[in-house]
Amino acid sequence: MLASRVMIGKRCAIQEEPAFFRSFVFRLALSLMGGREAAEDLTQEVLLRLHRHRDKFLDAGDQYAWVRRVTVRCGLNQLKRRKATEPLSESLTDPARHSEDLAVRELLEKLSPDHRVILGLAIGRGLSYAEIADALGIPEGTVASRLNAAKQAFRKEWER
């Protein structure tokens, strides 16, 4: 059996190896978590889950959407588990980073996990309302209102 079955001319091919989605998951995890270290942890967790649930992974109609749902769910859980008193990660304390990035990151850390995730999906990854609704398992109307609330919360922190 071939390692992967690729339909020539189509972007969405059926992939049998979860590792194929490593970069896709990592980019998404970066937007959700905001730091490389946390993103790599999340990527590992997601890839392990894909291996464990390989049958579901192979049967998924849209594998990208399925992987995105798993990544968002795991990322949300990790953010909720993380305590507010946890020290800042290496990417935030790195003096070489852009000063504005540090300010933005600090503000994001103050937001709720739900707000951080929806900002990461909408602004970080540029996903549509429909894609976000699918990833979070909520209606599109809820996506709009939650995104609006997240933007308001970020603005409020910014102006403080």
As a whole number of angstroms, the distance between CA 87 and CA 29 comes to: 19
Stretch that binds other proteins, among 54-62, 74-82, 118-126, 132-140 (CB under 8 A): 118-126
User: CB–CB of 114/82 below 8 Å?
Assistant: no
SS3 category, 5: strand
Is residue 123 at the binding interface for other proteins, with CB under 8 A as the rule?
A: yes
Determine which residue in the list 57, 71, 117, 120 makes contact with other proteins, applying CB under 8 A: 120
Site map 46..85 versus other proteins, x via CB under 8 A: ------------------x---------------------
Is residue 158 at the binding interface for other proteins, with CB under 8 A as the rule?
A: yes
Is residue 112 at the binding interface for other proteins, with CB under 8 A as the rule?
A: no
Neighbours of 35 (CB within 10 A): 17
Give the H/E segment covering residue 14: strand 14-15
